[in-house]
Amino acid sequence: MLNLTDMRKRRRFDREFKQIVIELSRNREDISALASELDISADLIYRWRRESEIHRGASFPGQGNKILTEEEKEIVRLKKELRDAQLERDILKKAVSIFSKNDGKYSNS
């Protein structure tokens, strides 16, 4: 028995194909007709056009990679740095608590 996921596999389109479709859509009035000729949805063409306008040459990086501005890249880097520092702090806190127990072994008192 076939289920819906077998019938509708996710198709992947490369950057060149998307750019060609965008150019074709700019020269055609009926986007729906173009979409049916290419066997894709008109919504997909509109989305590709929107992404192309927003990100210019950086659109369609492929493999699900996000397109980030320089500021967003900096934020991602700083968040990673913060996570690393917090992890380091937590490890040091735990070590201090272990070594500072009041059994006299590790303190100068």
Q: Indicate the residue type of 53.
A: E
> What digits encode the pLDDT tens for the residues 21-61?
998 888 888 989 999 998 999 998 998 888 888 766 556 65
Cβ burial of 40 (10 Å; 0-12, 13-18, 19+) is: middle
- Whether this prediction's pTM lies above 0.75 is answered by no
Four-residue CA torsion sign, 31, 37, 41, 44: negative
> What digits encode the pLDDT tens for the residues 5-28?
555 677 888 888 888 999 888 888
Specify whether the CB–CB gap between 86 and 77 falls below 8 A.
no
DSSP 65: P
